[in-house]
């Protein structure tokens, strides 16, 4: 395969690091166009120098002077601010890894989609918020959207060569997070430090909290609804504490196909980077005899209401998933800052959903408007706490 060009949006994060680790091992096959971060100019500059990027962008312009200084004389272009972030995404890399956290990644991801290349999507919040608007842009611009989220990557692999009309169930597996077996009473006192300590995966702070509340699975349900056209009533969630089966597809004849692998995001990232080929990863082979047992159980929506809220939001459609996502982002940030208790996250999301029902967004700017209004409402709840 000839050399391909790559942009990583969110290069300094957990997914960014896993992506660049794979690129580092295959340097002769990739040319890096742009790398972006929010504020971490130091690490971004190091990565841009190491990979010989054309361009490095910090979304927060306050960090541009530091980035400029670190890149002075290197030939790597430095830029800052939201418009520069969108321009980086629009430079036409053949493959764009969308790995910014939150709806902040929506505008650059849409810009990459408009270039019509391959989008390896980790940034689930962007798809949850923009739903139909994003999928329509993918179709209109002939982009190829490949899921990096491990469950969706698994489903994508299990669907290969089969028709959606033959699908009986798509089952998303959930680890259940660090509080899987905690009582409601104990959940009320859960701390940020406890929430970010995930038993199976090493991830950014926001998705770690989402995993603890089960909003991660809720967002993934909405993500799956947009990626795989089988209908909401065919999407299920099952708790699987070992995180070995990453998801499964059951067909009308009773065959269930599952994708298994180690809990290492380099596996689904490699699958998207190499698709439709395969590439080597340094991940430890799956040792099922060592793991011994795989177990499964039903989710408990009484303790973890997030999946119910997400299903209702997907059913309502239009701008409602964007409201859910925005309220969750604000509530998670407030929890991480010690402003609200763990169980308030879902409570505030439900409150904002109950107070705001925008008309269906028809464009990126409509989605951003809904996102902004839902954030403002969630912030009001937080400050009144
Ligand atoms: P991290 O917090 O580790 O990294 C986030 C990246 O986005 C960083 O590069 C950060 O820059 C950048 N960023 C943060 N805020 C902004 C902003 N406002 N504008 C522009 N850039 C921003 O997150 P993860 O890598 O864990 O997650 C990234 C996405 O991938 C999320 O949507 C998550 O749900 C999804 N995902 C992650 C998985 C994982 O294992 N980590 C698994 C499956 C999906 P800076 O370093 O400067 O702050
Ligand atoms: Mg996932």
314-336 residue pLDDT tens: 999 999 999 999 999 999 999 99
Ligand nearest to the CA of 175: 2
215-252 residue pLDDT tens: 999 999 999 999 999 999 999 999 999 999 999 999 99
Strands 95-98 and 235-239 turn out to be unpaired
145 backbone dihedrals φ, ψ, rounded to 5° = -100, 110
Instruction: Give dist(CA 36, CA 32) in Å, integer.
Output: 11
97-133 residue pLDDT tens: 999 999 999 999 999 999 999 999 999 999 999 999 9
pLDDT band at 199 (very low <50, low <70, confident <90, very high): confident
State which H helix or E strand residue 247 sits in: strand 245-251
With beta carbons less than 8 A apart as the criterion, state whether 251 and 161 touch: no
Please give the share of the chain, as a percent, with pLDDT higher than 70: 100
289-298 long-range CB contacts below 8 Å, 24 or more apart? 291/242, 291/244, 293/242, 294/240, 294/242, 294/244, 294/245, 295/240, 295/241, 295/242, 296/173, 296/238, 296/239, 296/240, 297/238, 297/239, 298/238, 298/239
Tokens coding 152: 């969706």
- How far lies 73's CA from each of 11, 198, 275, in Å? 22, 41, 37
Q: Is the model's pLDDT at 200 over the cut of 90?
A: no
pLDDT band at 384 (very low <50, low <70, confident <90, very high): very high
Residue nearest to atom 23 of ligand 1 (CA): 204
pLDDT of residue 204: 94
Tell how far the Cα of 67 is from the centroid of ligand 2, in angstroms: 32
Q: What is the value of pTM for the model shown?
A: 0.98
4-20 residue pLDDT tens: 999 999 999 999 999 99
Paired residues of 97 in beta bridges: 8, 120
Q: Which atom of ligand 1 is nearest to the CA of 207?
A: 34
Instruction: Give dist(CA 158, CA 260) in Å, integer.
Output: 11
| Vertex 224 angle, CA 136 and 322, to 5° | 65
Overall size of the chain counted in residues: 385
Ligand 1, pocket-test mutation among 67, 207, 263, 336, most atoms within 8 A of CB = 207
pLDDT band at 198 (very low <50, low <70, confident <90, very high): confident
Question: CB-based contacts of 303: which residues, under 8 Å, 6+ apart?
Answer: 182, 183, 184, 187
Backbone conformation region of residue 92, classed left if phi is above 0, alpha if psi is from -120 to 50, else beta: left
Cβ of 265 closer than 6 Å to ligand 1, yes or no, is yes
Tokens coding 256: 């269930």
Tell how far the Cα of 48 is from the centroid of ligand 1, in angstroms: 17
Instruction: Give dist(CA 28, CA 340) in Å, integer.
Output: 48
pLDDT of residue 2: 84
Ligand nearest to the CA of 98: 1
Tokens coding 288: 């099922």
Instruction: Give dist(CA 168, CA 220) in Å, integer.
Output: 19
Residues with CB under 5 A from ligand 2 (ion): 149-151
Cβ of 40 closer than 6 Å to ligand 1, yes or no, is yes
Closest CA to 230 of 164, 142, 310: 164
pLDDT of residue 385: 84
Tell how far the Cα of 131 is from the centroid of ligand 1, in angstroms: 19
pLDDT band at 50 (very low <50, low <70, confident <90, very high): very high
Q: Does the complex come out with an ipTM higher than 0.95?
A: yes
- How far lies 188's CA from each of 8, 158, 212, 230, 235, in Å? 37, 38, 12, 36, 29
147-195 residue pLDDT tens: 999 999 999 999 999 999 999 999 999 999 999 999 999 999 999 999 9
H runs (alpha helix) in 104-160: 106-114, 124-141, 150-159
Ligand nearest to the CA of 210: 1
Instruction: Give dist(CA 247, CA 240) in Å, integer.
Output: 10
Cβ of 19 closer than 6 Å to ligand 1, yes or no, is no
């Amino acid at each position: 395969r000839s050399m391909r060009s790559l942009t990583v949006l969110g290069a300094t994060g957990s997914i960014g690091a896993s992506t660049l680790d794979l690129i580092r091992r295959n340097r002769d096959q990739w040319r890096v166009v742009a790398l972006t971060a929010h504020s971490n100019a130091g690490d971004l500059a190091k990565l841009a120098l190491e990979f010989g990027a054309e361009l490095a962008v910090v979304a927060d312009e306050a960090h541009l002077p530091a980035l400029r200084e670190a890149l002075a004389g290197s030939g790597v272009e430095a830029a800052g601010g939201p418009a520069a972030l969108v321009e980086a995404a629009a430079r036409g890399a053949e493959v764009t890894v969308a790995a910014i956290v939150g709806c902040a990644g929506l505008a650059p991801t849409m810009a990459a989609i408009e270039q019509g290349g391959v989008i390896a999507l980790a940034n689930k919040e962007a798809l949850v918020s923009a739903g139909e608007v994003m999928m329509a842009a993918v179709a209109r611009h002939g982009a190829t959207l490949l899921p990096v989220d491990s469950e969706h990557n698994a489903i994508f692999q299990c669907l290969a060569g089969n028709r959606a009309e033959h699908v009986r169930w798509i089952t998303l597996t959930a680890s259940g997070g660090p509080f899987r077996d905690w009582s409601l009473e104990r959940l009320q006192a859960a701390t940020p430090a406890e929430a970010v300590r995930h038993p199976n995966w090493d991830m950014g702070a926001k998705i770690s909290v989402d995993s603890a509340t089960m909003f991660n699975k809720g967002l993934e349900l909405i993500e799956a609804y947009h990626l795989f056209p089988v209908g909401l009533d065919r999407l299920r969630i099952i708790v699987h504490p070992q995180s070995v089966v990453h998801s499964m597809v059951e067909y009308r004849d009773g065959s269930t196909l599952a994708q298994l692998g180690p809990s290492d995001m380099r596996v689904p990232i490699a699958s998207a980077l190499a698709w439709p080929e395969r590439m080597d990863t340094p991940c430890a082979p799956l040792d099922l005899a060592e793991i011994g047992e795989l177990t499964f159980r039903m989710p408990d929506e009484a303790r973890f209401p997030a999946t119910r809220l997400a299903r209702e939001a997907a059913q309502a459609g239009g701008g409602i998933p964007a409201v859910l996502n925005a309220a969750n982002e604000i509530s998670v940030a407030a929890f991480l800052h010690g402003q609200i208790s763990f169980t308030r996250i879902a409570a505030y999301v439900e409150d904002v959903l109950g107070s705001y029902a925008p008309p269906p967004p028809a464009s990126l700017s409509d989605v951003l408007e809904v996102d902004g209004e839902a954030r403002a409402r969630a912030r009001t709840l937080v400050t009144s706490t």
